[in-house]
Amino acid sequence: MPDNSQRSALNAKHSKHDSAEYLKKKKFFDKVLTIYGRNAVLEALQDENISIYKLHLSDSNKPAKVLDEIVRLSKRRDIEIAYHEKKALSRISKNAKQDQGVALDIVLEHFGSLDDFKTEHESYRIIALDGVTNPQNLGMIIRSCAAGNVDAILLPTKGAAQISPLVIKASAGTLFKMPIIKTGNLKETLQALKEEGASLYTLSSYAKKSYKEQTYGKRTVFVLGNESEGVSAAVESVCDESISIPMNRGVESLNVAVTASLLAFL
């Protein structure tokens, strides 16, 4: 994650013109995720498959074996180590109460923008998440999508669970294999996909057609909603059709992660 001076430099350059250098840096930092907490950071450092940008430590940390191991692993992997005052570290971790004086910038190679995704995919199957707030649900959705026939997850940057140590754990490491598209406005992004020929489906127990009976085109987006409220009215207004998952014994609904799993293996 860029520190304050790096962000200022990038913003200053951006205010003048989008140079190739600026765009390259921005594209890189868009893929950087900061995790925090000693155990979470240690586990990430132990996984050689995780690409790491920088380790951040508070200069007020008291000696501890776990910190020694974190530093040892970072040096062995030739990872940059930066020391900060406690307040500065909290601005990086964004969670002063739980960061335990440690934060780690990891690089999610499969994170990216919609434009980046479209340059590589003429056809696709996407699962879009509208207000899914439970980190464990998000992690399990990522895991199912990575294992199944889903090309990307569309994840809003606001009003939904974000990638965190809990999500990483629930995904069982598949987070680092699954393409995730970030969007600041889910409705607008879905509308853009629709205008390019994508078919957008919501899930409803009242829908007449089963998800197994529907014929899907080469560009398909399934929209899954909040755990209790479902898909928002604004997002639903741009979708094309609702499909259902037939259920027995009077069961009316499924957990959103279970629903994603069924769709992933269509």
Q: What integer is the mean pLDDT of 235-244?
A: 97
Banded model confidence at residue 59, pLDDT cuts 50, 70, 90: very high
What end-to-end distance do the CA atoms of the chain give, in Å? 37
Residues 89 and 126 in one domain: no
Decide if pLDDT at 5 tops 80.
no
Q: Give the pLDDT confidence of 171-223 residue by residue, as tens digits.
A: 987 888 899 999 999 999 999 999 999 999 999 988 999 999 999 999 999 99
Is 12 a domain residue? Answer: no
Residues 76 and 186 in one domain: no
Q: What integer is the mean pLDDT of 16-28?
A: 76
- Residue at which a domain ends, from 75, 91, 107: 107
Is 205 a domain residue? Answer: yes
Residues 134 and 206 in one domain: yes
Residues 125 and 100 in one domain: no
Is 51 a domain residue? Answer: yes
Q: Return the CATH number at 134.
A: 3.40.1280.10
pLDDT at 203: 95
Decide if pLDDT at 149 tops 90.
yes
Banded model confidence at residue 3, pLDDT cuts 50, 70, 90: low
Q: Give the pLDDT confidence of 111-145 residue by residue, as tens digits.
A: 888 988 988 899 999 999 999 999 999 999 999 99
Decide if pLDDT at 18 tops 80.
no
Is 237 a domain residue? Answer: yes
Is 238 a domain residue? Answer: yes
pLDDT at 1: 47
The Cα 164–Cα 228 span in angstroms is 22
Q: What is the pTM of this model?
A: 0.79
The Cα 133–Cα 252 span in angstroms is 21
Q: Per the structure block, which two tokens stand in for 150?
A: 């889903």
The residue with greater pLDDT, 14 or 92, is 92
Domain region containing 124: 111-264
Residues 71 and 121 in one domain: no
Q: Give the pLDDT confidence of 71-111 residue by residue, as tens digits.
A: 999 999 999 999 999 999 999 998 899 999 999 999 988 88
Count up the domains in the chain and report the number: 2
Q: What integer is the mean pLDDT of 47-65?
A: 94
